[in-house]
Amino acid sequence: MTNTQFLNSLITCPKPNPQASVRLFCFPYAGGSSLIFRQWRDYLPATIELCPVEIPGRGTQMKSPPFTRLEPLVRAIASAIQPYLDKPFAFFGHSMGGLVSFELTRLLRKQYGISPNYLFISGRCAPQVPNSEPPIHNLPEQEFLEELRRFNGTPTSVLENSELMQLFLPILRADFAVLETYVYAEQPPLNCPITVCGGLQDQEVSYDQLLAWQEQTCNSFSVHMLPGDHFFVHSSQQQLLEIISRTMNEFSHLSPAD
């Protein structure tokens, strides 16, 4: 796989590594881009090729309109990612990215008969858990900004920069619409193992909501709680990458799951 192959694709690769035995596709949280995973390549073993997914509307896909519903978003990613599933692979998704990677896994199973060798879910409640929070994606601007402050995922310097926020608001609204209009449909459990990570101080996702992911696999399952709030993906990055590296090392010699 070359840099040319990644042009105009939702799939990025900051450091192509054809010799890697496994690919790790990463899905960002609401409002995030592939850039949040760029540093990971410096801490992952050489056996893993890092492939962050760029959601339309940001980063290299800034000119593409953002999706406001999960199903068409997942279909678009499935079409883009399928050519890169020619070696063992795993998915990692944080928050919104966890839901996207889960539904993508179900779509790939149905459409192509292939699954990741491992699914890493981070900071996201299990999909079958009802969302008790009122929707925010269609709130007036000031109320929407207040909710963003409560989530503590957008830097204050960005929230207070009106010019920057005018760029980010459509993306954030679209991402929250993706999450808030999602309707879970029951399907058989996945065949791939699932590892779930959560933040010990996360006020958005409880341990029980993380544990409920166990219902979504008939394979092995584990939960790891790390220091930090909902965005422990940054504050506990080293511990998180150690878990991912250790787990992926166990299956790097395998073929893609059936």
Phi-psi region at 64: left, alpha or beta (left = phi > 0; alpha = psi -120 to 50)? beta
Read off the tokens for 196.
Answer: 């779930």
Active-site pick, 95, 101, 115, 236: 95
C-beta separation of 247 from 220 below 8 A: no
Specify the 3-state DSSP secondary structure of 188: coil
At 87, phi and psi to the nearest 5? -145, 165
Whole-angstrom distance, CA of residue 93 vs CA of residue 196: 10
Distant-in-sequence, close-in-space partners of 60: CB < 8 Å, separation ≥ 6: 12, 34, 54
* Residue 157 annotated as catalytic: no
DSSP annotation of 12: -
- Residues recognised as catalytic: 95
